[in-house]
Structure 1
Amino acid sequence: MKCIIVGGNVKVLSRAVLSLSRIGDELYLEPTENGLSLRSINSSRSAFASFLFAPIFFQRYEAGGPEPDTELFRCKVLMKSFLGVFRSLPSLEKTVEKCLILLKPQLSRLVVQLQCKYGVTKTHNLTFQECERLQAVFDTQRCASSLRAPAQLLVEAVVHFPLTLAEVTLRVDAGGKITLQNYVEDEAEPSKTMVTELCLAKEEFEAVAAVPDSHITFCLREFRGLLSFAEASNLPLSIYYDAPGRPVVFTLDDTMLEVNLVLATLSDPQNTPQHPTSNGVPHVPVPSDDFTDDLEAYMITMETSTRDPQNPTFPLSTPNPPPSDEEEDDEDGGAVPGTPPNKKFRSLFFGSVLTPGGPNPAPTQEVLAEDSDGEC
């Protein structure tokens, strides 16, 4: 893989990496015929983000090797190492004229070279690991509600919330009023709780097709990162969501790039899940199978499915785990800053749809050891 980025596109790439750094500690690189894909997921697998840069984004783009039959190579690097190359946005804009990204599988090196003014060249040799392709489980076409708004509108809305706020609730009432409110737990005392609510007019949005009295609660930290990129790129933001507990999808579309951010939402056991229609087409209900939080078993199921691995299409659904008496004991453990999968959040599921050796689905994996009941 070899690509060359020039001019202001170097800054766009650096902003994308900065946005992905709010998601996870690893950066997945996958060169495809449609462009270079950069992805990241968090450790709890409740947040996923992907940036797909089209070939026209680059001055020169080569997805594979010189031979036509060369297989595309996917890898992952430490986010901290890759982010260190683009750590100073003002310096990149003033000094960097060209950026070269070269993948050398034989040497296990990812070379990032910055060609600056006055003949200065900075070369970074990063180590990587070969990996499988990971894809979040979502499908925006099946979402019952969708919103589209200028990024500046949402930036001005979330600026009123403190940086330490973990979750925010988006609500659309029967009259079409759209509100953003900080999430307040049911156990919180009203006299000791501060509630911040912002009302947005329907006319401020470019498009609104939401189910009346619908709401979702999602993490704010990752959403802020996407908003910063959208505001700098001057791109409108689209929001697709369903009932509480199902993932919410944020998208940015442009001729040069495609951005997706998928976040788990807070489930609402008080309300019965509804399956409204969207554009006259009934929404497909979520299967009521007794799924557990065994991610590995779910990934194996996806790997051995008969779907086309080149064009994976998964329904937007998060399996509903059966109620357990141990949920209260597990709420205090395994918290991830910025993206808490505890409380009533349901983890998104990710599956390996391609193996490093070829396009065929991975074989069924044998479970060598069962998960322990206690903490490791």
Structure 2
Amino acid sequence: MECIVPGNNMKVLGKALQALSKIGDELYMEAKSDRLSLITLNSSKTVCARFHFFETFFSSYEVNPDDLSAAGNETITCKVHMKIFLPLFKGNLEKKLDYFKFEYTTDSDLIVFKMKYKCDDIVMVHKLRLMDNETLSIGVGADTGENSLGGSSSFYNQLLAMFSISDDELTFEITPAKVVARNYCQGTPCRPKMMRSQINLNSTEFLSYRITKETTVNFSLKPFRTVVHFAETFNLNIDLNFDVGGKPLSILLKNPTFEVNFIVATLNPYTDTNSSLATATSVAAGVTKARPTEISDEDLEAMQTENWESEEVTEEEKKDKDNCGGSKKEEEDIVPRSPESPRSKKARTVFGRCYDPTFHETVLGEVLAANSDSE
């Protein structure tokens, strides 16, 4: 297999590898006669990310027919560690490289990458050791499912902006008329310091809306954020294809030269009794349920015979009430004196000299003549 990626497409390839590295640690490479696929799985095998690059994506794409026949299933496969592959694509390679070349043969335990730089005709060669070869079999189609939601990348990005980065899951309650997006499930206990968010989306807000069966779908937000970020970089539309909650969700992005497909496991928190959400709901209900108080037979009989509507008051109760009420009435008639405002004291202290006389006869010295005017 030999294929050459032109420098103008290096940005797409670099962003694709960054998206794949957020999902899994191992990169599967599958070469067919018309496409090269890069695939990864997360550790729990609940998310599968696939990038298919068609012949038109490459400036040159050649697959040896003998290698395909030797593979037995018309697919050449190999696997490498993501950590040793990803550092090759750091920086703005679309501005630095003329091309990036893949070279691999089925009888080799190495895969060769050649990077041709624009300056000084430098060619850098990287040889990476392959892992034990495995073949993946994903039984979920990219565009299969009775229900489908289609929207632009900016639409889904605005939706994600309504939720916190700390949110791990997203729940879609889907009807033929609208979609209710929540970061929680009704009936489940609220986590401490969690802000519950709910967004109502009408069917007219989507580019395509095909719902044949109402359902609730709960899935992880991490792969969904990864897809939306990649789609927004290249202004791609996003299609969500699924049947019902509990079956895989397919997230699909299409371009004339490449295609992106994420398969995400889902659950319906209101019907899946094996899910952690359903368990949390049942436990919470058991804890919060009030325990009935035990009442003896004598107390129960007394409560039944008691006349709760009677308003009669005995003479002793009247006397006690008059004695207590009389003294309270006298106390209520006496209005306590308002405390003296400390402001006046403070004013005399601060402005005390303003109250002192400003004129004394002693300041004039000895009086030589008396006042001629009696006034």
State TM-score, norm by structure 2. 0.66
Alignment partner, residue 61 of structure 1: 61
Q: Does structure 1 conserve the Cα–Cα contact (< 8 Å) formed by 2:150 and 2:209?
A: yes
**Cα shift at 1:100:** 0.7
**Partners of 2:142 and 2:115 in 1: CA distance:** 37
CA distance in 2, matches of 1:247, 1:21: 21
Superposed counterparts of 1:130-279, under 5 Å: 130-139=132-141, 143-174=145-176, 176-184=177-185, 186-189=187-190, 193-211=194-212, 213-268=214-269, 270-271=270-271
User: CA separation in 2, counterparts of 1:2 and 1:190?
Assistant: 52
Given that 2:20 and 2:49 are in contact with CA atoms closer than 8 Å, whether structure 1 keeps it comes out as yes
Match of 1:128 in 2: 130
Q: Deviations over 1:108-151 (max 9, x none)?
A: 11112221221233322111124232122323565221011111
Distance in structure 2 (CA, Å) of the matches to 1:187 and 1:206: 32
Q: Which one of the candidate residues 79, 85, 88 is aligned to 1:85?
A: 88
Residues 43 and 66 (structure 1), Cα distance of their counterparts in 2 relative to 1, 3 Å cut: same
For the residues of structure 1 that align with 2:264 and 2:56, how far apart are their CA atoms? 29
Q: 2: distance between equivalents of 1:67 and 1:26?
A: 23
CA distance, structure 2, for counterparts of residue 204 and residue 328 of structure 1: 35
1:101 Cα deviation after fit: 1.1
Structure whose residues are more often helix by fraction: 2
Q: 1:36–1:63: 8 Å Cα contact kept in structure 2?
A: no
Give, in angstroms, the shift of residue 187 of structure 1.
Answer: 4.1
Query: How big is each residue's C-alpha offset from its partner over 1:263-312, in whole Å with a ceiling of 9 and x where there is no partner?
Result: 011233x448xxxxxxxxxxxxxxxxxxxxxxxxxxxxxxxxxxxxxxxx
Structure 2 residue identity aligned to 1:87: K
Aligned residues: 275
Identity %: 30
**Is contact 2:102-2:113 (8 Å) kept?**
yes
The DSSP-based 3-state class of the residue aligned with 2:30 is strand
1:109 correspondence with 2:110:
yes
Report the secondary structure of 1:20's partner residue.
Answer: helix
Q: What does residue 99 of structure 2 align with?
A: 98
Which amino acid is the alignment partner of residue 31 of structure 2? Answer: P
Contact 2:245 2:267 (8 Å CA) reproduced = yes
C-alpha distance in 1, partners of 2:165/2:255?
29
In 1: Cα distance, 2:141 partner to 2:39 partner: 17
- Letter of the structure 2 residue corresponding to residue 146 of structure 1: S
How far residue 104 of structure 1 moved from its aligned partner, in angstroms, is 4.1
The normalised TM-score by structure 1 is 0.66
Instruction: Identify the structure with bigger relative contact order (alpha carbons < 8 Å, sequence gap 6+).
Output: 1
**Does the C-alpha gap of structure 1 residues 140 and 112 become closer, same or farther in structure 2, counting only changes over 3 Å?**
closer
CA contact (8 A) 2:249 2:264 kept: yes
Gaps of 5+ in 1: 273-321, 330-376
Range moving further from structure 2, 142-151 or 58-67: 58-67
Q: Is the 8 A contact 1:144 1:210 kept in 2?
A: yes
In structure 2, the residue corresponding to 1:165 is in which secondary structure? coil
User: Residue 51 and residue 323 in structure 1: after superposition, are their counterparts in 2 closer, same or farther (change >3 A)?
Assistant: closer
Inter-partner Cα distance in structure 2 for 1:243 and 1:114: 46
Superposed displacement of residue 204, structure 1: 2.5
The 3 A distance-change label for structure 1 pair 80 and 68 is closer
Deviations, residues 71-108 of structure 1 (Å, cap 9, x unaligned): 453111011111111133xx213212211111144441
8 A contact 1:248–1:263 mirrored in 2: yes
Runs of 5+ in structure 2 lacking a partner?
281-375
Q: Secondary structure at the match of 2:64?
A: coil
